[in-house]
Amino acid sequence: MKKIKWLRAVLIMILLILPLAAMAKSIDPIVSTDWLAGNLKNADLVVVDVRKVEEYKAGHIPGAVNVFYGSWAIKKGTLLNELPPIDDLSDIIGEAGIDGNSLVVIVGKTDKVPDQFDMTRVAWTLKYVGVPNVAILNGGQNQWVKENKPLSQDMVRAKAKSFKAAITAKLFVDKAYVQDRIGKAVIGDTRGPAFFEGKEKLAFVPKTGRIKGAVNLPVALIYTPDGLYKSQAELASLAEKAVGGDLNKEIILYCDTGKTCTSWAFVMTELLGYKDVRAYDGSFMEWSADSSAPMEP
């Protein structure tokens, strides 16, 4: 009888400890410089600096590994910022010392608003291949330097780990999928209003205009003038005004190349609770090159 009671007590302790262990491995989607500074010695932490190698060598967060952004998003034919082959991504992730238990913090620069999106594209890609605990450093390397936090010039070589991708296919979608979902899903154009309204375009984009039925949710709205994320309440209000407050509604986001739209995709999924957000990888660069793809105006 005593043995049964002892086993029951042990079982209860295990059940109580397991959730705490799981919580210890989780990470907020946007972390502060103070949080990162206080966790640099965490054995599960992997800080990934996605800046150019010369920028990394000039000074980086102690212990950070350098995996340049161009390794995560490549050119395919005429299209920019496309997913690399999954085997290549798996090798990149494993060589960076990342596995399923890692707490990954992505660090980039924020000199200009477009620079922010290197971090979100990499974070979204890691989610796509099955890395559960991914965060972005709020304000990136710029905020770290601004606060006079420690820097290193040591070239860090991570201890490689075995990584096998577990794809969440819905996070990235293709042109055929978007065409099929027009009128069924909410399609969000995350470019600036002038691009959404067909008044401007980038040189490498074939035409002005937007995907038929799209609503506008500009990525620039996410950040403060200092390059930091706005409050959760502000972001939730901005998202709801554009795409609605139904957290279960399917939402497909696009930009010009499939890079900047990941900013809202990451925020909406990881911070605001939207459950079915997808990024169109080819985005408007691919869409506007197809004369049969429905467009307006």
Spell out the SS3 assignment of 227-254.
Answer: CCECCHHHHHHHHHHHHCCCCCCCEEEE
Which tops the pLDDT comparison, 141 or 6? 141
Give per-residue pLDDT as tens, 157-173.
999 999 999 999 999 99
Lowest-confidence range among 9-18, 33-42, 154-163? 9-18
Distance CA 146, CA 144 (A): 6
* The pLDDT value given to residue 17: 36
Written as one string, the DSSP assignment of 163-183 is ------GGGEE-HHHHHHHTT
- Total number of residues shown for the chain: 297
- 119 has a pLDDT exceeding 70: yes
Q: Are the C-beta atoms of residues 91 and 67 closer than 8 Å to each other?
A: no
Backbone conformation region of residue 126, classed left if phi is above 0, alpha if psi is from -120 to 50, else beta: alpha
> Which amino acid, 154?
D
DSSP 85: P
Distance CA 117, CA 132 (A): 19
- Please compute the mean of the pLDDT values over residues 258-282 and round it to a whole number: 98
Residue 206 main-chain phi, psi, to 5 deg: -60, -40
Which tokens sit at 123?
A: 């974070």
* Closest C-alpha among 122, 144, 126, 114 to residue 37: 144
Give per-residue pLDDT as tens, 177-208.
999 999 999 999 999 999 999 999 999 999 99
Domains of the chain by range and CATH? 26-146 (3.40.250.10), 169-296 (3.40.250.10)
> Which amino acid, 291?
S
Whole-prediction pTM: 0.90
* The pLDDT value given to residue 8: 52
